[in-house]
Structure 1
Amino acid sequence: MRATKRDIIFAAPFAIFALGVIGYGVYGLIGFPPSSLTLVITVIAGVIISGSFQLPVGKIPGLPHVGVAISMLAIQPAEESPVLGVCIWAIGLLISQVFLRRRLFYGLYVTGLSSASAFAFVGTQLSLVNFGVWLPLSFLAATTVYYALILLGELARQWGRTEVERGFGLSAFSPKRIGIIILVVTTAATLMNYVDSSVINWLEHDPEANLTPFVVLLAALVFYALSQRMRYDRNERRLNAIVEAAIELPRETGSGLATALQCRAQSILQANFVELRDREPGPGEIGVAVNINPDTTQYLVASRKIGGAPFARDDERALASLAHMASEAARIQVEVDTLERRANTDPLTGLPNYGAFQEALTEANENRPYHEGIALLFIDLDEFKKLNDSFGHLAGDELLRAVAERLQSAAGGGDIVSRVGGDEFVVILTGLVSLEQAKESADKIVEAVSQPLRVEGHDMRPVVSAGLAFSSHRELDAQTLVADADRTMLQVKRSRGPGGSVEGSVVSISTHRSTRTNDIVARAIRENRLSLAFQPIVSVDQGKIWAFEALVRYVDPELGPISAPSLVARAKSLGLMNELTRQVITKALDAAEEFYLLEPSINCMTVNLELGQISDSELGPYVREAAREHPNISLCIELNERSLRSVTEDLRNDAKRLQDAGLLIALDDYGSDDSSVGALVHFPMDVLKIDKSLIDNLGDVRQREVLKALQGFGDNLGYTIVVEGIESPAMVDVMVDLGVRSAQGYYYGRPVSLARTLERLRRSGPAASIDVLADHARLP
């Protein structure tokens, strides 16, 4: 416990009073021994035994814990002198408090305060009995007075301090807990008195027998058993908290680990103060050595204010366990960091190695802002093998280290330099706006590397071949940059030598195909060149088309068809996804109007959107307005079910606003490997589309039962269930048997152009079944 000078000054009078009470008790026992020394010894023992039963009067650390030993005075050890009885009781209390608090001064303080309150307890109880008050009520009033004085003493000790210093005020006490403590003591005192005066007298057949000490000892043992039960519960809670700490602490590092350790220790020990410091614990504190920082030993020290519950040995063991876990977590983290550093660092130059370069390239590509360029400079030292053969490996190593230092100095802080081979280096250039800027930076780096230097007593000028690959947009595969830069660098090397056209250090620029592809996609979107294909969604039981799904397509004259996933991925990386989606929605709704004119029963069009696009900050308002402009068409927004793992409450509200505006919400691809049941119950929807992976083996009874259950789920909640991937009449038969009523798949038609879809409707109307082979033969 942490004692301030103020605490000592306040506690001193109580300690002196306790010495006086104890002294008078010893004097009385020697000079005027009570009639039953056995009862005296039993009361002292009972106070010591029940002293461990301490109860909190509030829920925050620093509040005093009060004991129930006052109940031992229900039977006076010296009937002829109640004052001596309190003094005898105080002897036992001092012994128990010194044992619990392990400091004589604090034991004397508590004994003095408790003794003064005990005199009030005895005086109140005896006075009320003499006035004819019912015995239980006299004990209730006396117990209330006793604990009121104890708590007033604690409040007086804290009076005048700031809230931070004292840690609690009157509002921190729990009236409910205080009331329970008073009732417990009142009940115990009443039962002891009743058993001693009535039951024991009835059981005593021997006039010489005195079983009163037995009553005191029995009550004390009951309290001791309760205290052990409370200790068991506390230890169980502490153990659970330590297990949680064992999970949390290894996840923290550095200052976070220190903070987590202190918070956990303060919570588990219910301490007022927990700190990491260089000094060992002082008197009244508990502490243990801990090593959070390498080669530095600190102490994790916990303390409580005077008057608070003392620390037990279990607290010391818990603190030691936490310190050990934190030390081990820090040690393992240091070892992991060391191993990671070794694994990702070239030992000769200290630069990141090939593995670290790969991670850095991916990071630079994925996390750059839209339209911010990056470039890869691939550098090779020419005739490095000849240098090694002529001057030795030490000279070669010195040259590599010199080149590494020059690269780091020339590249600057924002760019990443790595050694990826024996004499090969790469530099990732970031924050670029143009190829010209990338070329300018690359030329400066190569020029700095090519300056003369002295190696092992020999003057030389390094000559390098360098290939530069520039990317103006995020790449789907950043490794294409490496391949292009490497290929360009090799072309420079091959052009050297006799008859070659290249001399000195040269940077050659790669014609990066991926950049051309990005430019082509960007131009296609900006110039509105995208087209759509339409696949029917049919009613199985009615055999009719009731909707179409619109799918984006683009065929470039130079590259040929660009797949829909690649088209979407590149649109995302270019920051043009919203523009692409607007075009798809516009063209899809215009096509739907044409389908409606031919077949009014087909009035639904589904379009795929990214989850985030439904928000009001992106396409929400546009989608609602587009739907209002086409009142004859039901626009259905398909959201990939897997994306709903990141759904927020705002996005749920956005989806609800779309529904309120008359749009339908479909969850697409449900049933894939990482699908979640949560999406079915937490997100607004009207249509559930079952992924084809869930029907890849309809001979499996489990797949059939799942389909049947999902159809029943849709029927009960009014959702439309659409099974995708239907490719044969046999699969249609199974769907009919399972009660599935809507389906989509190649059996009913592949995605085809607007012209081909209109031709089908003119020829076959809304009929679901078509001549599949003939339809395939007519595909463009």
Structure 2
Amino acid sequence: MAYGIYQLLGSTPTSWALALTLIASVIICGPFRMHVGRVPGLPLLGVAITMLAIQPEEGSPGLGVPIWAVGLVISQTIAGRNLPQALYWAGLSSAVAFVFVAVQSGLATLGVPLLLSFLIATAVFYTLFLLGEFTRQRGRWGLDRRFGLSALSPYRVGFVVLVATVAATLVTYVGSSVIPGLDPDARLTPLVLLLTALLFYAVAQRTRFMSMERRLSAIVDAAIDLPRDDTGGGLAAALTSRALSIVEANDVELRGRAPEQNEIGAAVSLTPGVEQYVIASRKRGKAPFAPGDERALVALAHIASEAARIRHNVDTLEQRANTDPLTNLPNYRAFQEALVEANENRPYHEGIAVLFIDLDDFKKINDNRGHHAGDELLRTVADRLQAASGGGDFVSRIGGDEFVVILADLVSLAHAKESAERIVAEVSQPLVIDGHDLRPAVSAGLAFSSHRELDAQTLVVDADRAMLQVKRSRHHGGRGERSSVSIAAHRSTRTNDIVARAIRDNRLGLAFQPIVNIDEGTIWAFEALVRYVDPELGPISPPSLVARAKSLGLMNELTRQVVTKALHAAEEFHRLEPGIRCITVNIELGQISETELGPFIRDAARAHPDLSLCIELNEHSLRSVTADLRREAELMQQAGVTIALDDYGSDDSSVGALVRIPMDILKIDKGLIDDLDDVRQREVIKALQGFGDNLGFTTVVEGIETHSMVDVIVELGVRSAQGYYYGRPLSFARTVDRLRRWGTRAELD
């Protein structure tokens, strides 16, 4: 650079205009720089080397580089506002520029075509420049910021080389051939350099405008989406993710200190009372941030701060609206919402219950010991309720001395009663208030629901009535002073009446789930599953339906209806698709005896010779198998009835179940395939399949829900499966529609 200044001031250049134009052209085209990395932070490549296509001093090819370096230092200083960094860039660029000039002029002397000479020289220039940067940055050009070149894009580097080559060739050709051909006395070569530089400058400004437009659009999108973007890590994660894309930084983080060198930042408040900074950095390539980047980051931080403030205010207001201020428990409004949620979104086979709790003699405590004692009692009861309730239960204070608990994940009324009694016992433990011993006494009512309610509020009404019965009984001396739980008996009675009426009036329905041959990709059987939807109560879960039928003495009648309807449906399935001959029905082991349904089942199978009736016996029931029941099973097989062992592999299955009774089909419970990545599960499935093959059983794996599960069990040798992947249980009409549309195809698009 000093030598270039000396040449300008210490001697007279051949053309002052051309020398000064070279400096001006380098300054003008300086803003035009292109990314060559797949991530931000790698060096940006400019095209200032194009300006050396025309040398200011004829006969001295290397003399133009020092003059060119003057313009490069000025350009880099303006762009980066950092003189030491500008000197570094100019130093590295000037060193390889000498090589560029030497290679190009040498090739031209040898008669190499102009375009090819510039292509080779330009490629050498950028290769050496990138090699110098690669060395300075210790080779950390990998996508993982480690040693490597994976972050460098060869295509982008090639594009820069091509642009610079074409521009240098055109500048040389126009400057040496076109203009002199028009007017031999004209010296318009400086104009060619300026026009080329201005063209690059226009492209750079257009790119800058598009970048600003992109930032503005991203900030507008953030202003719309950021306030409600609370996925993953929350608002902080959303802020850093958007900042990373808007300012194209290497790294964006939230921290407590202000930005340092090579960083930009903005203050942000995502948590009340906590001041942080969102910091963006480009540490690897040290390419400077543009002023627009910092302004965009400030705007984004302000939007995030406002979103956090508004969200905090909304959450605070919502919490106040849904929380009891004394106990910090959810209030009646929150309880109503939670009850609807628990009722609507519970699994079909799981029950819920409402436990209604009232503190006895609470007014007397307030009157005798003061309201502060009553408040302390309420807070203690609230704490005990929360501690005694399970993780899936919901505790609420809905009135002065009234609490409710929503019990979830229940399997039976007995389960609900056990949980309620445990909670009431915990609440009734002695405590000390103001130095006085006190043992709270509560009246509690429990309402259990085994199925989805049409109106969940009926549970509250029933639990309240049951609680009032306890209070009335206590007032009449019926239950003494101890706490107790009353079950809403009339609710259970009403459900029993509905189930009994449904069975006696033959209103039960069936759903059918396919059993498929994986090798052939076809359905070969359907399992018939009982269903009932009451106009008043809605759907009643199959376990509850069966349990009530047992308690009412109607289990055999229920099974008769299921078998009869299943066989009639199977006749239609077989008519549509002759390959489907088997229908399976779940029955209790004791029902196959001669005194119960044995003769009926055998006669039903004989009445449908074209079909195969399969009775599925639950694995748990085989523990009570007797010699008589084993003989009954053999009679079933002689009559053409197929026997399946169902749910094998559940938590307490035993190997003995496989040999206690004759069987034709072994159905493996879905509990054995809940983690097929476990080598032990895979080995068990493989062993059971081998067991079935050796003894002539058909092995069916239940609970198949994804294609990946299918791939695994096929590798294990399984040939038959059942599960949601092949079809959920559907009504008769929808099953017929499936067969008409798709035939026996196992998998549907």
Query: Shared fold by TM > 0.5?
Result: yes
One-letter code of the match for 1:491?
Answer: Q
| 2:258 alignment partner in structure 1 | 280
Task: Name the counterpart of 1:732.
Answer: none
Query: How far does residue 345 in structure 1 lie from its aligned partner after superposition?
Result: 0.7
Q: Name the CA distance, whole Å, in 1 between partners of 2:373 and 2:269.
A: 39
**Structure 1's 606 and 100: CA in aligned 2 closer, same or farther, altered over 3 A?**
farther
- In the alignment, does 2:387 pair up with 1:412? yes
Check 1:118–1:94 CA distance in 2 against 1; reply closer, same or farther (3 A cut). same
Q: How does 1:661-740 map to 2 (within 5 A)?
A: 685=738, 687=740
1:303 counterpart = 2:281? yes
List gaps (5 residues or longer) in structure 2. 511-526, 585-603, 614-704, 714-719, 745-749
By how many angstroms is 1:260 displaced? 3.2
What SS does structure 2 have at the residue aligned with 1:263? helix
Q: CA deviation at 1:232?
A: 3.3
Partner of 1:216: 193
2:129 maps to 1:150: yes
**What is the aligned counterpart of 1:33 among 12, 22, 37?**
12
Query: 1:144 Cα shift?
Result: 1.5
Give distance in 2, aligned partners of 1:582 and 1:125: 95
What is residue 271 of structure 1 aligned with on the other side?
A: 249
For residues 109-160 of structure 1, give each alpha carbon's deviation from its aligned partner in whole angstroms, at most 9, with x where no partner exists: 1111110111111111222222232222222222122111111112222346
Query: In 1, Cα distance between the equivalents of 2:70 and 2:378?
Result: 83
2-side partners of 1:607 and 1:236: how far apart? Answer: 66
Amino acid at match of 2:425: K
Give the residue type in structure 1 aligned to 2:210.
D
3-state SS of paired residue (1:133): coil
Matching of residues 472-511 of structure 1 within 5 Å: 473-476=450-453, 477-495=455-473, 501=478, 504=481, 506-511=483-488
Distance in 1, matches of 2:39 and 2:5, equals: 38
Counterpart of 2:568 in 1: which secondary structure?
helix
How big is the shift at 1:249? 6.4
Q: How does 1:366-515 map to 2 (within 5 A)?
A: 375-382=353-360, 395-396=370-371, 398-409=373-384, 412=387, 414-415=389-390, 416-428=394-406, 434=415, 437-438=418-419, 440-448=421-429, 453-454=433-434, 465-471=442-448, 473-476=450-453, 477-495=455-473, 501=478, 504=481, 506-515=483-492
Distance 1:553 1:666 in 2: 10
Residue 362 of structure 1: CA displacement?
A: 4.7
Assess, with a 3 A threshold, how the Cα gap between structure 1 residues 669 and 567 changes in structure 2: closer, same or farther: same
Per-residue deviation, residues 527-576 of structure 1 (Å, max 9, x unmatched) = 99966689xxxxxxxxxxxxxxx99999xxxxxx9737957442277799
**In 2 relative to 1, CA 180–94 (structure 1 residues): closer, same or farther, beyond 3 Å?**
same
CA RMSD of aligned residues (A): 5.2
Question: CA distance change for structure 1 residues 248 and 68 in 2, over 3 Å: closer, same or farther?
Answer: same
SS of the aligned residue for 1:292 comes to strand
Retained in 2: the 8 A contact 1:474–1:574?
Answer: no
Partners of 1:142 and 1:93 lie apart in 2 by 19
**Which residue of 264, 269, 275 maps to 1:291?**
269
Could you tell me how far apart the structure 1 residues matched to 2:158 and 2:71 are? 25
Q: Could you say which residue in structure 2 is the equivalent of 1:93?
A: 72
User: 2:415, 2:727 → 1: CA distance?
Assistant: 44
CA shift for structure 1 position 341:
1.4
Instruction: Tell me what 1:341 maps to.
Output: 319
Count of residue pairs the alignment pairs up = 595
* Pairwise CA distance, 1:325: 3.0
- Name 2:90's counterpart in structure 1: 111
Residue identity (%): 47
Structure 1 match to 2:34: 55
Instruction: Give unpaired runs (5+ residues) of structure 1.
Output: 1-21, 535-549, 555-560, 610-625, 636-646, 672-683, 689-716, 720-780
Distance 1:572 1:98, change over 3 A: farther
| Cα shift at 1:212 | 2.1
Query: 1:404, CA displacement in angstroms?
Result: 2.5
Secondary structure class of the residue paired with 2:12? coil
TM-score (norm 2): 0.66
User: Retained in 1: the 8 A contact 2:444–2:486?
Assistant: yes
Displacement after TM superposition at 1:93 (Å): 0.9
Distance change >3 Å, CA 520–CA 153, structure 1 → 2: farther
Distance 2:727 2:120 in 1: 72
Deviation at 1:408? 1.6
2:174 to 190, 195, 198: 195
Residues 612-639 of structure 1 deviation map (CA, whole Å, 9 limit, x = unaligned)? xxxxxxxxxxxxxx99x9796899xxxx
Counterpart of 2:99 in structure 1 is: 120
Residue type at the aligned position of 1:214: L
Instruction: Kindly provide the amino acid, as one letter, of the partner of residue 35 in structure 2.
Output: P
Distance 1:473 1:533 in 2: 18
Indicate yes or no: 2:565 matched with 1:588. yes
What does residue 5 of structure 1 align with? none
Deviations 1:479-523 (A, max 9, x none): 3332122112223444566x6656545434123444456677899
Q: Contact 2:420–2:446 (CA<8 Å) still a contact in 1?
A: no
Cα gap change, 1:631/1:122 in structure 2, threshold over 3 Å: closer, same or farther? farther
**Please, which moves more after superposition, 210-219 or 396-405?**
396-405
Kindly indicate whether the alpha-carbon contact (under 8 Å) linking 1:665 and 1:686 is maintained by their aligned counterparts in 2.
no
Deviation track 1:178-226 (CA, whole Å, cap 9, x = no partner) reads 2222221111111112222233224448x4x532221111001111111
For 1:608 and 1:279, how far apart are their aligned partners in 2?
71
Partners of 1:104 and 1:460 lie apart in 2 by: 81
Q: Is the 8 A contact 2:137 2:285 kept in 1?
A: no
Contact 1:56–1:66 (CA under 8 A) maintained in structure 2: yes
Distance in 2 (alpha carbons) for counterparts of 1:33 and 1:317: 47
> CA contact under 8 A between 1:417 and 1:428: conserved in structure 2?
yes
Contact kept in structure 1, 2:179 and 2:188, CA below 8 Å: yes
Bigger Cα displacement from structure 2, 253-262 vs 192-201: 253-262
- Alignment-derived partner of residue 687 in structure 2: none
Q: Give distance in 2, aligned partners of 1:254 and 1:603.
A: 52
Taking structure 1 as the reference length, what is the TM-score of the superposition? 0.64
Find the aligned partners of 1:220 and 1:575 in 2 and give their Cα distance: 87
Partners of 1:158 and 1:166 within 8 A in 2: no
Residues 329, 382 of structure 2: 8 Å contact kept? no
Whether contact under 8 Å (1:370, 1:474) holds in the other structure is yes
Distance 2:709 2:560 in 1: 23
Residue by residue, what CA displacement relative to the aligned partner does 1:576-628 show, whole Å, maximum 9, x if unpaired? 99x9999877433423588999xx9999999999xxxxxxxxxxxxxxxx99x
Taking a change above 3 Å as real, the CA distance of residues 437 and 402 of structure 1, as seen in their structure-2 partners, is: same
Q: 1:601 to 1:401 in 2, by over 3 A?
A: closer
Q: Does the Cα contact within 8 Å between 1:361 and 1:428 map onto a contact in 2?
A: yes
Q: Is the 8 A contact 2:57 2:63 kept in 1?
A: yes
Q: CA shift at 1:352, angstroms?
A: 1.5
